A and B are shown apart, each in its own frame.
Chain A
Amino acid sequence: MKTLPRFIILVVAAIVALAPLVIDGQTKTAPKVWTPPKTPWGDPDIQGLWPGQDMVGTPLERDRSLGTRAFLTDEEFAKKVAFSEEQNEIDTAEYVNRNPRIARGGRFVTCEEDPNLCRNGVRIGPPNYWDERGKPTKQASLVMDPPDGRLPPLTPEAQKLQADRAAARRARPCATAPGGCHDTWEDESLWDRCITRGLVGSVLPNGYNTGNQIVQSPGYVVFRNEMIHEARVIPVDGRPHSNANIRTWMGESRGHWEGSTLVVETSNFLPGIPVANTPTSDALRVVERFTPTDADTLSYQLTVEDMKTWTKPWTVSFPLKRSKDYAVYEYACHEGNYYMYNALSGSRSEEKKK
């Protein structure tokens, strides 16, 4: 009999502890809902092309100086527009500019100002026209919760893992080689190897190939990402997750409708997939909410929970705008790709010179 009151106290404590999170999730960030038409089988119809292109220029984390202010003032926005115009000028410069400007941290710097960006006074990187820039937005960061727009601290366990990995990297003879370590194919990232960017990496607007498409059929929603041609087939028929031993890079998604909002919960990830440049654990769970707010806008919200990696969950939120003419091109990555050969053979050539 003693355990029952203890149990009740625990449950009440848990409810009290979780209440602010729930309220926060439902009130502060809850978007207005627009009721879309229905599919012939009665589900809300959110099918279409929803590229994330516009948000490419919005950073994942917010500048610390903005604190809990999630949106820029008119004056700050005007500066961002001017920055974007300057970037556009650099991208399309007809003549070689003898005072190179490199975008860093929301401004342009020279090699002299930040020697880490250059070697022998030369900027290393691909041509500017390889990147998409997006549009300047007033949203100051993709991360909208925690309220300061910054990722929560790593757990002590994750910090130790990160420090151990860094120490192991530094201990390798190739650590100081230009371009880093390219001793084996395993030194190349999952993205470089055209395997995957993982669920979060595939949907966050970054660099290029930011197309998304939603296709629905009875009992299923397919969310297709242009980068590494991922297509998640999401059952929305209430079935449970598979055995937790069955794990993949993109995880296993299960969806359901809450009114017009599609809620997708994904788990069963393989450990190690990088999210925000941090390898995640087997405890990773991602919850996405797709809420139509008008005929051409989906409010997209993605919450990352990995209590072995971050001390608390964090949420990214941004609008996806419907496009009628965006083309999701095929991305047959790695077919005939020469990168692996060039990087490995280039590093072997460097070694021979020593």
Chain B
Amino acid sequence: MRSMQNIAFGFVVLCLFGTAAWAHHAFAAEFDINQPVKLQGKVQKMEWINPHAWIHVDVAGPEGKVVTWMVEGGSPNILLRRGFTKESLMPGTDITVEGYRAKNGEYRANGSNITFKDGKRLFLGGSNPDDPENRGKK
């Protein structure tokens, strides 16, 4: 039941996506809206590359086998302007990522919501602790 809720949750998250302004990259060519994923794991590393940053997350499967997922983020230039710094997702940080899996079936996904262990969300609700506006409010 929980997983069904997660799937429904993921779908609704996707409904929040996008604007007419975004013309770069065909989302529907890369990612499968029928494969929502919710990944819980530790940040392995962050690739600050344009036009999209990629977060590598080590996710333990049901039998304990760890799989490294790559999760796509926005352009580093936007992330930096949104207050995301290289300290925001340090290796080892526990996060939960919701997104949609790559159509090619590899361990890749588009990242929508990123939630920290304490329930705070990155970017959303101004809860990014590294956002200049939130400094000192922790």
Residues of A within 8 A of B (CB): 56, 87, 90, 92-94, 96-98, 100, 102-104, 111, 118-132, 178-180, 182, 191-192, 194, 206-209, 226, 327, 329-339, 342-343, 345-350
Residues of A within 8 A of B125 (CB): 92-94
Closest 4 CB pairs of A and B: A125-B18, A346-B103, A94-B125, A179-B29
User: Which residues of B9-55 have CB atoms within 8 Å of chain A's CB atoms?
Assistant: 9, 11-34, 47, 49-52, 54
Contact of A100 among B12, B75, B76, B81 (CB under 8 A): B12
Chain B contact surface mostly: mixed
Known contacts A127-B112, A209-B75; A346 and B104 CB within 8 A of each other: yes
Q: Are A349 and B75 in contact (CB under 8 A)?
A: no
B33, chain A: closest CB distance, angstroms: 5
A126 touches B110 (CB 8 A): yes
* A346 in contact with B30 (CB, 8 Å): yes
Task: Give the shortest distance, in Å, between A284 (CB) and chain B (any CB).
Answer: 20
For A95, the closest partner residue in chain B by CB is B125
| A339 and B25 form a contact (CB under 8 A) | yes
By the criterion CB–CB under 8 Å, are B12 and A129 in contact?
no
**Which residues of B sit under 8 angstroms from A226, Cβ to Cβ?**
77
Does the CB pair A97–B16 fall under 8 Å? yes
Cβ–Cβ < 8 Å partners of A343 in chain B? 25-26, 29-30
The residues in B between 46 and 105 inclusive whose CB is less than 8 angstroms from any CB of A are 47, 49-52, 54, 70, 72, 74-78, 80-82, 102-105
The answer on a CB contact under 8 Å between B81 and A132 is yes
Q: How far is the CA of A226 from the CA of B78 in the complex (A)?
A: 12
- Determine if B16 and A207 form an interchain contact, defined as CB atoms under 8 angstroms apart: no
A119 to B15, CA, bound (A): 10
Whole-angstrom distance from the CB of B41 to the nearest CB of chain A? 19
Bound together, the chains give a CA A209 to CA B76 distance in angstroms of 10
Kindly provide the distance from the CB of B31 to the nearest chain A CB, expressed in whole angstroms: 8
| Shortest distance from the beta carbon of B39 to any chain A beta carbon, whole Å | 15
A130 B29 Cβ-Cβ under 8 A: no
Whether A179 lies near B74 (C-beta < 8 A) is: no
Q: Does A331 lie within 8 Å of B77, measured CB to CB?
A: yes
- Closest Cβ neighbor of B15 among chain A residues: A100
Chain A: minimal CB distance from B52 (Å)? 7
Q: A125-B27, A209-B75, A339-B30 are in contact. Are A333 and B51 (CB under 8 A)?
A: yes
Residue in chain A with minimal CB distance to B80? A329
B residues less than 8 Å from A56 (CB atoms): 21
- Given A125-B22, A335-B50, A346-B75 contact (CB < 8 Å): no
- C-alpha spacing A334/B124, complex, angstroms: 28
CB distance from B38 to the nearest CB of A (A): 13
**A283–B91 CA distance with the chains assembled, in angstroms:** 53
Q: Establish whether residues B25 and A192, one from each chain, have CB atoms under 8 Å apart when the complex forms.
A: yes
Please measure, in the bound complex, the distance between the C-alpha atom of A339 and the C-alpha atom of B112, giving whole angstroms: 17
Say whether A131 contacts B30, CB under 8 Å: no
Chain A residues within an 8 Å CB radius of B116 = none
Tell whether, in the assembled complex, residue A208 and residue B104 are in contact, meaning their CB atoms are under 8 Å apart.
no
